[in-house]
Amino acid sequence: MKKIYYLIIIAAIFFDCSIVHADSVESYRKFCTLTGLYDTEEGEMTAHFYGHLAVNYAVEILKENPNSIEACEIVELVTQTLNDDKTKDFYNKLKEKHMPNFDDPDFEPAEKIIFLSMLRCGIEAKSLEENKQYQLLANKGFINMKDSCKNPDYAALATKGLFVIRNDEERLGYTKYFLQKYPQHKYIPKVEQAIVNELYCVDDPQKCIEELLKLAKKYNDFVTPHGWRIVMDFYCNIAFRYRALKDYENAKKYYYMIEKESPNHWNLKYLKPRLFPDSR
């Protein structure tokens, strides 16, 4: 059950909920293509070859439009690039530049956010213990930016960077903090979705479904830069929750609704084999 829960949380990270600056959207789509989040002829292998280009787009997005859905997504999606040796070279340059300024929350914040995201992934870790220490160090950097960065857009991004902390209570606390601190932020619909999942996804699937349907009604007209309504993202969670309840009829109902309106929705390829085992 926990494995499915984290799959849902991870899936939720990849979607956004508002139309923003056109250049930011284009850069984000390029990023997604280069990291294999969008299907291409080369599929997910693109991350092995073009991760370094994707990271450049990530920095570009954060500099260009830090108060955007794309910027919030990029904080986590840079993890898709780490198989690329050129990306590791890029990381080493960021490390050389940012470690001496680690405690300065205002030192080139766009790059710092990307650096901390890559640092937390343990890109240079030689053991699990080292990886844990890198995670703690990165979280320290995010907390410092959250509390002290003068630019509220980057402070918000740093808060978003704390959404993946392993401790359930801390993770929920940072999510609620974002909701209270930045109530007008474009990412709020996704924050509300994350809170619903945190509170109910595992322990009360039916309540989770009910709350997600409320969000679907509230944000019915929000369209993502991918081109689909954010409602489709909620429907993915709902389908997973019905599956957890062994209500396969309703799970498939929502799957078909997503497939009809958004046949290119990223999460369909993960949902389909769980609802239609013969399709594997």
| 118 & 142 share domain | yes
Q: What is the pLDDT of residue 189?
A: 94
pTM of the model: 0.84
Last residue of a domain, one of 158, 183, 208: 183
Range with the poorest average pLDDT among 28-32, 79-83, 96-100, 197-201: 79-83
CATH number of 280's domain: 1.25.40
| 57 & 175 share domain | yes
Q: 234 pLDDT exceeds 60?
A: yes
| 123 & 205 share domain | no
| 178 & 192 share domain | no
118-176: pLDDT as tens digits: 999 888 888 989 989 999 999 999 999 999 999 999 999 999 999 988 899 999 999 99
| 28 & 137 share domain | yes
44-86: pLDDT as tens digits: 455 556 677 778 888 888 998 899 888 888 887 777 666 667 8
Instruction: Find out whether 57 and 103 touch, Cβ atoms under 8 Å.
Output: no
- Closest of 148, 60, 41 to residue 104, by C-alpha: 148
| 3 & 54 share domain | no
Domain that holds residue 175: 20-183
| Residue 7 pLDDT level (bands cut at 50, 70, 90) | very low
| Residue 15 pLDDT level (bands cut at 50, 70, 90) | very low
* Average pLDDT for the chain: 85
The domain tally of the chain equals: 2
| 110 & 42 share domain | yes
What the block records as the tokens of 141 is: 């950097």
| 222 & 104 share domain | no
| 32 & 163 share domain | yes
- Closest of 224, 212, 162, 218 to residue 187, by C-alpha: 224
Q: What is the pLDDT of residue 20?
A: 40
Other C-beta atoms lying within 10 Å of the C-beta of residue 227: 12
Last residue of a domain, one of 145, 161, 183: 183
| 124 & 211 share domain | no
What the block records as the tokens of 204 is: 């009360």
Last residue of a domain, one of 163, 183, 203: 183
The residue to which tokens 């498939």 are assigned: 252
What the block records as the tokens of 109 is: 């914040």
| 55 & 114 share domain | yes
Average pLDDT over residues 78-98: 83
| 48 & 96 share domain | yes
| Residue 21 pLDDT level (bands cut at 50, 70, 90) | very low
CA distance 169 to 163: 11
